[in-house]
């Protein structure tokens, strides 16, 4: 009887993997955000350089 009660309590309050999966998804999302921000910064610098070249060729500065 005691064994069944312990098994029942462990089933209710035992370790759950839902929190672990949520944490993993959060870490993956954070990694994707960091990579996306880095890529956007690199693209922005490349576009800025190209626009400066175009402005220089047109006599803008």
Q: Phi, psi (5° rounding) for residue 4? A: -65, -40
Q: What angle do CA 37, 25, 9 make, to 5 degrees?
A: 160
Tell me: the pLDDT tens digits for 28-60? 999 999 999 999 999 999 999 999 999 999 986
The dihedral through the CA atoms of 51, 55, 56, 57 has a sign that is positive
Per-residue pLDDT at 18: 65
Around Cβ 23, how many Cβ atoms within 10 Å? Answer: 10
CA count, 13 A, side-chain hemisphere, 21: 4
Domain-wise residue ranges, the chain: 29-56
Between 7 and 27, whose confidence is greater? Answer: 27
Per-residue pLDDT at 11: 74
pTM above 0.85, yes or no: no
Nearest Cα to Cα of residue 18 among 6, 29, 26: 26
Tell me: the pLDDT tens digits for 17-31? 666 778 889 899 999
Per-residue pLDDT at 16: 67
């Amino acid at each position: 009887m005691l064994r069944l009660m312990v098994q029942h309590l462990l089933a209710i309050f035992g370790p759950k993997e839902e929190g672990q999966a949520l944490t993993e998804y959060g870490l993956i999302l954070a990694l994707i955000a960091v990579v996306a921000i880095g890529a956007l910064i690199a693209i922005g610098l490349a576009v800025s350089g190209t626009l400066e070249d175009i402005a220089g060729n047109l006599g803008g500065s």
